[in-house]
Amino acid sequence: MSHDPEQQLLKAFVAHARSPSDPAPLLKICEALVRVRRDEQMLPWAEKGLALDPRHRGFVHARARALRLLGRHAQAVQTWLDFAPLDWSPLFYQARLGRDLYLSGDTAGAIALLERALQNPAEDDDADKLRAHKWLAEALLSTGDARGFQHWIWRNVSDSGNYRYSAVPMWDGQRDLRGERVLVTHQMGYGDQFMLYGSIRHWRAAGAEIMVLCDAAIHSVIEASLPDCRVVAARRPMAPRSPIDAETLPAVQAFAPTLQATLLHLPLLAACDQLRPEPYFEAFIRAPQAEHGRATSWASALRAQHPGKALVGVFWDCSQRHARDMRSKERSWAGLRSLPLEALERLTTNPQLTSRAHFVSLHHPVAEILGGSPRGSISHYAPGVTTFADTAACIAQLDAAISVDSGVANLAVMSGKPTAVLVNPAGEWRWGANGTRSPWMRDAHVLRQTAMGDWDSVVSRAAQWLLHR
């Protein structure tokens, strides 16, 4: 028997062609599509399966999963509701329906259902209970409720790789950190690190000396931005409670920490403050000095070429959507977040805008080659965007930025740059659930789709935002 998932998919398809009234090959097609990371393509096969076997939970789950990956969250919710009478495990069902309620925009309904799910007597490390914690966290945080961080921390034992330095205790909530030397270990993506390291100020104010681990790709930026911390580049941990890697261990031992905190612990220190920090994550990003110098010279020359015009950075395409080796969830989500090139060109070729602003691409050249390069009044950063230090230096010289939901959006906002963040209706909690303001960061002006995939009104509002600046 072949273990090649592509061959298994082909065999299942051939079996279905031979026996189109047999649901078994259809289920194998769905299972094989998951293994080849094309989950979003399951929908027609799941629907064929349900037509043959209307009470098969596997086809229901596959249909809801595919709809979610395609951004059709309300239909995913309706799928769960239509098949509620089936013999589901209550926690399995509540966790998934709660997630899709949140993604569909029914945040209150999601919170109520997920809170009920967590009353289930299942063990704390049950996979569905951990899933309920994650989505309850995101739903609460999208409303600006800092209690969500208490649920988000459960990701440290579920789906977020993290380090555990067993030589010292994990921070347990103590507020007085005078005399403590805290090792802060990284996880998640670049954007999360840009945002959550904005909480370091709370830990420093509580008296802690801090050593920060971060991804090598952003090390020079974090080091320049946290001058009173020891900042060390390290591999990103892929599994929960990973030991500190051998290359990083000597630096950790030399720092001699007395406590450890993960990235997800950072926002918890201020979560119980009577007076909530405003903003919760304060802008702190600074470009390294060498890159800053090159960017200053570049910006001076560009402003001379476009006198009297504002310089506006643009980031429109999430390159993960082009990565076929990436999981369907990440690839599909990146596609739903990306702005089509023709929509961006409504800004870069708009005479009313280009008479007052000149645009600058914030893309890495390789990513822009994949996604296409816009026409109109737009330049590229002449020193070259090869690192996040280059991107941070470029952003620092701009007057504003426009970005889809991405690490670059977080970088721009946490640099203190006025940034229009273009999001879909199931946008990340970081940008809030409603309105134009993020409950967590000051410099984000949030522009939301009213329907998934409809960027027209978002682009029009981005144009108005620029014109009124």
Write out the DSSP string of 260-306: EEEGGGGGGTTTT-SS--SSSS-------HHHHHHHHHHHHHHHHHS
pLDDT (tens digit, 9 = 90+) per residue, 392-406?
999 999 999 999 999
Query: Mean pLDDT: which of 272-276, 318-322, 432-436 is highest?
Result: 432-436
Domain around 64: 5-147
Q: What is the CATH number of the domain that holds 194?
A: 3.40.50
Sheet bearing 181-185, strands edge to edge:
230-233, 209-214, 181-185, 259-262
Quote the CA–CA distance of 414 and 279 in Å, as a whole number.
11
Instruction: List C-alpha distances in Å: 78 to 105, 106, 460.
Output: 13, 12, 32
Do residue 63 and residue 19 come from a single domain? Answer: yes
pLDDT at 1 over 60: no
Helix, strand and coil in the chain, % to nearest 5 = 50, 10, 40
Residue 367: predicted pLDDT? 86
Residue 118: predicted pLDDT? 98
pLDDT (tens digit, 9 = 90+) per residue, 318-354?
988 888 788 888 999 999 999 999 999 999 999 999 9
Residue 114 lies inside a defined structural domain of this protein: yes
Do residue 372 and residue 235 come from a single domain? Answer: no
Residues 6+ away with beta carbon under 8 Å from 88: 57
Do residue 226 and residue 352 come from a single domain? Answer: no
Q: What is the CATH number of the domain that holds 67?
A: 1.25.40.10
Do residue 413 and residue 295 come from a single domain? Answer: yes
Query: Which region among 1-15, 64-78, 431-445 has the lowest average model confidence (pLDDT)?
Result: 1-15
Do residue 375 and residue 436 come from a single domain? Answer: yes
Mean pLDDT of the chain: 96
* Number of compact structural domains in the chain: 3
Q: How far out from the chain centre does Cα 92 lie?
A: 24
Instruction: List C-alpha distances in Å: 137 to 98, 108, 189, 414.
Output: 11, 13, 17, 22
Do residue 378 and residue 442 come from a single domain? Answer: yes
Do residue 130 and residue 39 come from a single domain? Answer: yes
Residue 2: predicted pLDDT? 61
pLDDT at 253 over 60: yes
Query: What tokens were used for 192?
Result: 């999360």
- Which of 121, 147, 173 is the last residue before a domain boundary? 147
Residue 275 lies inside a defined structural domain of this protein: no
Please report the DSSP string for 84-127 in residue order: TTS---HHHHHHHHHHHHHHHT-HHHHHHHHHHHTTS-S-TT-H
Residue 440: predicted pLDDT? 97
Residue 3: predicted pLDDT? 76
Position 347, amino acid: L
Query: Which region among 246-250, 274-278, 382-386, 402-406 has the lowest average model confidence (pLDDT)?
Result: 274-278
Residue 421 lies inside a defined structural domain of this protein: yes
Q: Using CB atoms within 10 A of its CB, is residue 334 exposed (0-12), middle (13-18) or buried (19+)?
A: buried
Residue 32 lies inside a defined structural domain of this protein: yes
Query: Which region among 88-102, 106-120, 324-338, 387-401 has the lowest average model confidence (pLDDT)?
Result: 324-338
Quote the CA–CA distance of 464 and 469 in Å, as a whole number.
9
pLDDT (tens digit, 9 = 90+) per residue, 180-211?
999 999 999 999 999 999 999 999 999 999 99
Residue 10: predicted pLDDT? 95
Tell me whether strands 230-233 and 209-214 are parallel, antiparallel or unpaired: parallel
Compare 426 and 313 and report the one with higher pLDDT: 313
Q: What burial letters (b/e) apply to 298-326, b meaning 16+ CB within 10 Å? A: bbeebbeeeeebbbbbbbbbbbbbbeeee
pLDDT at 370 over 90: no
Residue 92 lies inside a defined structural domain of this protein: yes
| pTM (predicted TM-score) | 0.95
Do residue 326 and residue 248 come from a single domain? Answer: no
Mean pLDDT of all residues in 72-99: 98
Q: 3-state DSSP call for residue 438?
A: coil
Residue 441 lies inside a defined structural domain of this protein: yes
Q: What is the CATH number of the domain that holds 391?
A: 3.40.50.2000
Spatial contact of 277 and 207, defined as CB atoms under 8 Å apart: no
**Residue 119 phi/psi, 5° resolution?**
-80, -5
pLDDT at 423 over 70: yes
Can you count the helices (H) and strands (E) in the chain? 21, 10
Do residue 403 and residue 259 come from a single domain? Answer: no
